[in-house]
Amino acid sequence: MFGGLESIPNNSPHLRKSGSRPVVFDIGTSELSSEEDFLFSKESNEMKGGVTPLSSSAIMPSPLLLWRFKLILFALWLMYAHLQIGWDSVMRMSADLRDLFLYEAFLYYNPLLLVTMMVWLWGINLWVFAQANVGYAKIFDLDQSHLTHREIWKCATWMTIIVPTSMTAYLYLYSHGEVSLAASQPVLLYAAVAMTLIFPFDIFHLSSRYFLLRTIWRIVFPIQAITFADFFLADIFTSMSKVFSDLERSVCRMVHRQVATIAWFEADSVCGSHSIAIPIVLVLPYIFRFFQCLRQYKDTREKTALLNALKYSTAVPVICLSALKYHVFPDKWTNIYRPLWLLSSVLNSLYSFYWDITRDWDLSCFTRIFKFSKPHILSHLLYGRKWVYLWVIGSNLILRCTWTYKLSAHLRHNYLTVFTITALEMLRRFQWVFFRVENEWNKTNSKSSSQLSMIDMPKEEERLLSSNGHSV
């Protein structure tokens, strides 16, 4: 009557049960798409009480994790390539010139390598501050565009790539007879660093570079009120005095065109190891800090500032007496100046250690800085642990003594020992930063809470008086 049964299309909605999901088919085919097939099988397994197997995409690591893994592999490969090329270049030199060649190369690149290390450590400091909810931006009076720990690490990554690459190029070119090209490598590197710092346009984090240069200017000329950022950076500069000394010798050799000449053994030259500029540069960070303390006493009239100035003044005899070894007879150094140097070294080390423990740090909340806002393995290992307390105090005492000993003249040519001690001093300053900033953060919070209580006190008194029916 109706001409037979009418064929119903497969995708007709009348074939679906009430409440079921719509199934979409490809045009001209009767197969499910892979995504809908997976969803349909997942629903079926859930209805049957079965376990849904994980797809291959669910167990794949995230793209960020893969990128970091590739970056680590690239850094390891780059380090291996630098070491291999540098070692082959050094082995090409004759045995009698090899030590002189290494010392000169080390002289140019040692300061920037240590600065790179300090930038990495500063990034770790900022990361811990962020995890512990320490408002370091408020303490240092930073603007909204200040560098975070991630941006600091990016800068450190570029420095880690560029500085060793320039050093490897210097070693390779010099060992293959390209002396003029080798001499240009440290010059170009130092010029690039200087241009990056003073570049006047709004690139390369202009506001942060300006803040750094302005703080350095305030350190050198403390004619204004001293802020926390001023003496904080000045304290870090005292730990980098050996870096500045090597930097002065490197720039001096570049100015006098002595790069790649292996002439460092000329002790009486203007850039030689016996130059009077070496102790002057070593003592300058302590002098700057000394005048900062005097300026602070002028503004606050606190005797603590004078005692702090006395601490920095004890470093001057250590540096000056150690420099006399190159300018007096050996017996006179052994009998007179060496005992005085030892006495001044012990005094400076113990005084500095005492000041770190009693003034710069707050031992009542010694490990609060490691109380992270989110669970973390580092917080679990460090927060509230007694071994952290013992380690920081013990290592601070030992490294205070070794840092003073490093300033002596008879270790100046042992560049590996000096580099190791300087690196250890930066590690000491790295852990010092945690507790110094924590102490300042606690002081800032206590001042803020006291000011708020003074503001709220009249309101509370007025409320109590009004509740008793009194009028004022």
Q: What is the CA radius of gyration of the chain?
A: 32
Q: Which of 205, 231, 418, 392 is nearest to 311 (CA)?
A: 231
Q: Where are the alpha helices (DSSP H) in 324-385?
A: 330-332, 338-355, 377-382
Highest mean pLDDT among 67-71, 144-148, 174-178, 284-288: 284-288
- In this prediction, residue 2 has a pLDDT band, given cuts at 50, 70 and 90, of very low
pLDDT at 192 over 90: yes
Mean local confidence (pLDDT), 47-76 = 64
More reliable by pLDDT, 299 or 326: 299
Q: Which residues, in sequence order, are bridge partners of residue 152?
A: none
Q: Domain spans of the chain?
A: 97-283
- In this prediction, residue 61 has a pLDDT band, given cuts at 50, 70 and 90, of low
pLDDT at 441 over 70: yes
- pLDDT given for residue 175 in this prediction: 83
More reliable by pLDDT, 112 or 105: 112
- The two tokens of residue 174 are 């010099």
Nearest-angstrom CA–CA distance, 333 and 326: 9
C-beta of residue 111 within 8 angstroms of C-beta of residue 247: yes
pLDDT, tens digit, for every residue of 19-50? 444 444 444 444 444 444 544 454 445 444 44
Mean pLDDT of all residues belonging to the chain? 79
- pLDDT given for residue 156 in this prediction: 93
- pLDDT given for residue 77 in this prediction: 80
Mean local confidence (pLDDT), 200-216 = 90
Mean local confidence (pLDDT), 53-80 = 69
Looking at the chain, the whole-number percentage of residues with pLDDT higher than 90 is 29
pLDDT, tens digit, for every residue of 253-309? 888 888 877 655 555 567 877 788 888 999 999 999 999 999 999 998 889 999 999
Residue 221 DSSP class: S
C-beta of residue 360 within 8 angstroms of C-beta of residue 432: yes
